[in-house]
Chain A
Amino acid sequence: MPGRGKARLEPKPDEAIDRTSPIEFEFDGRKLGGFKGDSIASALYADGVRVFSRSFKYHRPRGLLCCSGNCPNCLVTVGDEPNVRACTRSIEPGLQVHSQNAWPSLGFDLLSLLDRLHWMMPVGFYYKALHRPKALWLLGRQLIRRVGGLGSIDINAGHEDEFSSRNLHADVAVVGGGPAGVAAALAAAEAGSSVTLIDDQPGLGGHLRYTRPTGDGQDRSVGEGAADLAGAVGQFPQIRTLCSSTVFGLYQDNLLAVLTGEGVVRLRAKHVVLATGTQETPLLFENNDLPGIMLSTAALRLSSLYGVLPGRRAVVATESPDGYEAALQLLEAGTEIAAMVVSSDLAAGEAVDELRQRGVTILTGHRVVRATGRGRVKAAVVAPVGSTSALGTRKFRCDLLCVSGPQQPVDALLHQMGAAQSGVTLSGEVAGADGIEEIERQGREAGQLAAQAALSGSSVGAGMPGHQSAALPPPLAGKNGRTYVCYCEDVSLHDIEQAIDEGFGDIQTLKRYTTVTMGPCQGKMCGRALAGICTAHSGPNGDEPMGDTYTTYRPPYQPVPLAALAGRERMPMKRSPLDHVHRGLGATMVESGPWLRPHNYGSPAGECVAVRERVGIIDVSTLGKMEVLGSDAPRLLDRLYTHRFSDLAVGRIRYGLMTSDNGVILDDGTVARLAEDRYFVTTTSGNADVIEEWFNWWNAGAANDAHVVNVTAAYGAVNVAGPRARETLAKLTAIDLSRRSFRYMRAVEGEVAGVQCLLLRIGFVGEAGWEVHFPAEYGEYMWDAIMDAGSEFGISPFGLEAQRVLRLEKGHVIVGQDTDAVSTPYDVGSDWAVRLDKDDFIGRGGLVVAADRGLQQRLVGFITQDASFPEDGTPVVSGNRPVGRVTSSRLSPTMKQGIGLAWVPPELALEGETIEVMIGDRPVPARVTLQPFYDPDGHRLRS
């Protein structure tokens, strides 16, 4: 039956659950009940579940430890999501919760056999064992991977759309919603700042959510203090509150990475207040990981927030005031306190007096040395501090052992920033404040300071606080092999001591060797203990103490689902205005830089024939297009291209080759002069943005009248080419397209099909043809108009593949395909496009050097003896030695022979020379040519 569970206490005000809203969910196939506001863990605990998971290495049973999302003990699988912390995930109707890391079941895990064999697996055993024979490691690795690890990932689970990322801004970000954080947020808001207040728990108040307010002398109930704080924050609309949200990274210039239920928030703040408090840590004794042993704050959370009785008979072992508060509340809830165990010689304070009054046994100067029980704590064995014998040992029967070890400041975020921190203030317990008045005063001051800094734009640095020295008792006698320092990775005190003995005398290498602090909790439970152990130990040589230090903090502070980091998938792709036309025609699309372009429309060979014999149309909207404007435009072009453009007549076009300053080919295209002070420049398809930046880079700070406007997307463009191209276009325009009037390499502006266009007569594919540029929004209309006009001449669309073949027949180079990071214009035979007789230009220095040095390699054409041809990228060989490389090769539909371009040494770059190319694994002779294969004199092009 869903409902209260077996162990619910009487209702109290300010508890987190709503007892009027029961919720049913499933755990390992069993129906369970809880209330709205319950975490998975509290509902399970109320139902009597004590074992929540199996440990990483030895499969030891583990129960609730921190109950606040900081330890690894309650990791479960929810639906298909592994490694969910049961103590921070709310229950929802129908939720499917499964235990993980146990087989066949959580209660009876066969792999717990590993616990018996733990002597076989000392620290770093995988570095030491399974070396010989080699096959043993392969086997061992498989086994380790099977039994080790946490949870299993369902690779078919689609979590892509679950998270969406957001970007937020605040004058002041306050991390931690306890009394210090709230005081800071209120003070900053009062001073006029916008504030974002973030807390990882479902409600504001920090420890006041589960403790009684103290200090104001009034008798108030548990949780009332937290409710007051939340109410005060609610008065300020300029405070944005993010609860159940974890700041997992603090980056330079105050960028906070926050994991919320909705996704990752990138919060940029002018100033950050860290009011993250302290973390209670466990104690070290034998079997300190038995279910039923939990932090005192965990017991408080269970009873105060969820109305769940943590145990019937408890031992409370404490080194912090949290322990006393826990004991008092446990008493009130009806738990019998078998004993309070205090390591110091003195126990004092109001709470202690009250406990004494109620007849609780308080053992000062004692500590727990061992817990007993199988799968669940049955008793705590207590001994005087410093005692090494059984003398004075006492045993207390219990089903709950609350531990309250040294407080560890939660300052990981500050340490993540390293030396780069500024604009960050620590406040409250994390900064060493003690007592509610001091905490709140510090919070207010931090808030005022933060607001002042944010509003004035100044940055105030925070001091990097040193960690307080860990006053940890010396190592214990007994079976330290079962005294767990690190719950995540099953690293025992014995493991650490052994590693130190083996020579790992530095905490950083100790960490890497033993994996302590490297599990899901990232040192939250074990960092303090590890530092304490290192302080107590001399180094491996027995000389100097290892020092009190922490391992390096790195983001993320808490585990973050990769799906949350990824957010929504976004992949900006460029689309031509004719994109839907191609899809409608069933084109095979191919990625070409940032564009998707038609590779073919069914038959590349047929498309080639159409262009050579009739008329073809290809979408060239993807060409980069720029207008270069102004009276200094000619000078700018002369400076950036190897050719000269200042003497180009209006209405004419010239090929442009652009190199980087060391003479390597960057890009090519055409430059048309439309007016004295206006050029229309095209670049290769993938390079429009890069070339625009290149232009502006060299023109930066020049204070001249030369300006570049990128109009790539403004124009759709098609190349209409072939013997019937003229007749096709003539049906659509009044422009005189005749051979004499519209000559090769001329540009004309005019109407085509009623739309104002720019026509460029150029010939990449080697036939008479026009590049027609039109405003992009007319794209589909223009395509249809030209196709209609060309239908009587057998017009056919052609794709990239046909274009590649056709241009190869002409021997035209594609920059990036046929050239690489060292190719100069000389190497590709474009000497004619380099004008060393003009003023300095970009590339001149490198080209002069290249010209002096002479050719190292040369791009040549080659033709095979039959229809076979080599693959792109295969070697050119000479006597079994590679001497060059094929960059492009295809079957020429016109010549019915294999043709291509290849890099060869200069001595082979002679007309008629024979080279060998690899077809399959066979060297095949091919003839070198420096001429175009097709229409070498350009008759057809100019016709």
Chain B
Amino acid sequence: MATRAPERRTAMYHLQLAMGAVMGDADGWQLPMHYGDAGEEGRWLRETVGVSDVSPLGKIRVVGAEASKAVAFLVPQAAEQDIHSVADANSSLERGGRLLSARLAQDEFLVLTPAGVASSAVEAMRHSGSNGSHAVNVTSGLCGIAIVGPATHELMSRVAELDTTPRAMPDLTCVQSRFADLQALLLRRDVNGIAMYQLYAGREFGEYLWEVFVGSARDVGGGPVGTQALLGLRE
């Protein structure tokens, strides 16, 4: 048997190390706490824009005619949720936290959970009693980037043709579109009145996506931020 504990690395792990990331452990995942100067990273979040790896969040694709019924088992609003909207709820799963439900189509949702509880969320939905729904844990298949700060739209205008300004995309909405020439899901859920976008795309493009987003963030005066600065937003 292996001698060390299984270590989980996001698709951007090696690039982050090369950028000077100081890694920390988040439920077995290696995630940058900061890149040397958490203070500057906090400034970017407040004054320009910061991009942060949120790949460890649990991600569950729920499909089928009764998908909304299954998701409602965890996020009650899902039963009557509009397409392109995002609903959130307190998690009833073992470790608490918040669950987000993004409705992508009549018969398709992406549910986001705190890291480490996706499998129990899948189990919970499988036992919800809806036969016409299927939940697949796609945590490992999607990489995620959070984009926060007043220059977010300057950054987004460099990677997407779609209008993602607040007028077109209010809080608690989501879109699937072409970002940096990739298919991706963008969802918005504000934290303490600060606009926060999360982008999810195929993990196989993680390194490319990280380079594009960090490069674009730097173009507008921001850069990569670690978990420390990001968590600082919640205080």
Question: Which residues of the partner chain A approach B131 to less than 8 Å between Cβ atoms?
Answer: 631
Which listed segment binds A: B43-51, B79-87, B91-99, B136-144?
B136-144
Contact partner, B8, options A164, A627, A777, Cβ 8 Å: A777
Q: Are B204 and A732 in contact (CB under 8 A)?
A: no
- Tell me, in angstroms, the Cα distance from A166 to B153 when the chains sit together: 10
Q: Are B2 and A732 in contact (CB under 8 A)?
A: yes
Q: Are B136 and A711 in contact (CB under 8 A)?
A: yes
Question: Which residues of the partner chain B approach A842 to less than 8 Å between Cβ atoms?
Answer: none
> Which residues of chain B in 167-224 are interfacial with respect to chain A, using CB atoms and an 8 Å cutoff?
167-168, 180-182, 202-208, 212, 215-216, 219
A-B contact pairs, 24 of them (CB 8 A): A166-B158, A167-B158, A169-B168, A268-B161, A571-B208, A577-B11, A705-B64, A707-B64, A709-B61, A709-B134, A713-B141, A713-B202, A713-B203, A714-B203, A715-B140, A754-B5, A775-B139, A776-B140, A777-B29, A778-B8, A780-B9, A781-B4, A785-B2, A788-B2
- Tell me, in angstroms, the Cα distance from A580 to B14 when the chains sit together: 8
- Tell me, in angstroms, the Cα distance from A568 to B131 when the chains sit together: 48
Q: Are A777 and B140 in contact (CB under 8 A)?
A: yes
Q: Are B142 and A754 in contact (CB under 8 A)?
A: no
Given A570-B181, A781-B7, also A707-B2 (CB < 8 A)? no
Contact partner, B1, options A194, A677, A715, A754, Cβ 8 Å: A754
B84-122 vs A, CB cutoff 8 Å, 1 = contact: the mask equals: 000000000000000000000000000000000000000
Q: Are B136 and A781 in contact (CB under 8 A)?
A: no
**Which of B131, B134, B208 has the largest count of A CB atoms less than 10 A from its CB?**
B134
| Cβ distance A741 to chain B, nearest Cβ, rounded Å | 20
Q: Are B65 and A574 in contact (CB under 8 A)?
A: no
Q: Does B132 make an interface contact (CB < 8 A)?
A: yes
B interface residues with partner A (beta carbon < 8 Å)? 1-11, 14, 29, 55, 61, 63-65, 131-132, 134, 136-142, 157-158, 160-163, 165, 167-168, 180-182, 202-208, 212, 215-216, 219
Chain B minimum-CB-distance residue to A775: B140
**Which of A194, A630, A788 has the largest count of B CB atoms less than 10 A from its CB?**
A630
Contact partner, A709, options B5, B14, B138, B216, Cβ 8 Å: B138
Chain B minimum-CB-distance residue to A263: B158
Given A631-B131, A755-B6, list of 9 further CB < 8 A pairs?
Answer: A166-B157, A167-B162, A571-B208, A575-B205, A709-B134, A712-B141, A713-B204, A777-B55, A780-B9
Chain A minimum-CB-distance residue to B66: A705
Q: Are B204 and A568 in contact (CB under 8 A)?
A: no
Question: Which residues of the partner chain B approach A707 to less than 8 Å between Cβ atoms?
Answer: 63-64, 134
Main secondary structure of the interface of B (DSSP, over half): mixed
Q: Does A576 make an interface contact (CB < 8 A)?
A: yes
Question: Which residues of the partner chain B approach A629 to less than 8 Å between Cβ atoms?
Answer: 63-64, 134, 136
Q: Are A164 and B136 in contact (CB under 8 A)?
A: no
- Tell me, in angstroms, the Cα distance from A571 to B208 when the chains sit together: 8
Question: Which residues of the partner chain B approach A931 to less than 8 Å between Cβ atoms?
Answer: none
Q: Which 10 A-B pairs have the closest CB atoms?
A: A714-B141, A574-B204, A775-B140, A777-B8, A713-B203, A169-B163, A629-B134, A714-B140, A713-B141, A707-B63
Contact partner, A575, options B1, B2, B10, B204, Cβ 8 Å: B204
Question: Which residues of the partner chain B approach A778 to less than 8 Å between Cβ atoms?
Answer: 6-8
Q: Are A167 and B157 in contact (CB under 8 A)?
A: yes
Question: Which residues of the partner chain A approach B134 to less than 8 Å between Cβ atoms?
Answer: 629-630, 677-678, 707, 709
Q: Are B208 and A573 in contact (CB under 8 A)?
A: yes
- Tell me, in angstroms, the Cα distance from A571 to B181 when the chains sit together: 9
| Cβ distance B214 to chain A, nearest Cβ, rounded Å | 13
Q: Are A575 and B180 in contact (CB under 8 A)?
A: no
Q: Are A711 and B1 in contact (CB under 8 A)?
A: no
| Cβ distance A792 to chain B, nearest Cβ, rounded Å | 14
Q: Does A753 make an interface contact (CB < 8 A)?
A: yes
- Tell me, in angstroms, the Cα distance from A775 to B138 when the chains sit together: 9
| Cβ distance B72 to chain A, nearest Cβ, rounded Å | 19
| Cβ distance A236 to chain B, nearest Cβ, rounded Å | 16
Question: Which residues of the partner chain A approach B55 to less than 8 Å between Cβ atoms?
Answer: 777
Question: Which residues of the partner chain B approach A595 to less than 8 Å between Cβ atoms?
Answer: 204
Q: Are B182 and A572 in contact (CB under 8 A)?
A: yes
Q: Are A712 and B2 in contact (CB under 8 A)?
A: no
Question: Which residues of the partner chain A approach B207 to less than 8 Å between Cβ atoms?
Answer: 575, 579
Q: Does A731 make an interface contact (CB < 8 A)?
A: yes
- Tell me, in angstroms, the Cα distance from A731 to B6 when the chains sit together: 16
Q: Does A378 make an interface contact (CB < 8 A)?
A: no
Contact partner, B6, options A164, A580, A781, Cβ 8 Å: A781
Q: Does A168 make an interface contact (CB < 8 A)?
A: yes
- Tell me, in angstroms, the Cα distance from A707 to B138 when the chains sit together: 15
Q: Does A779 make an interface contact (CB < 8 A)?
A: yes
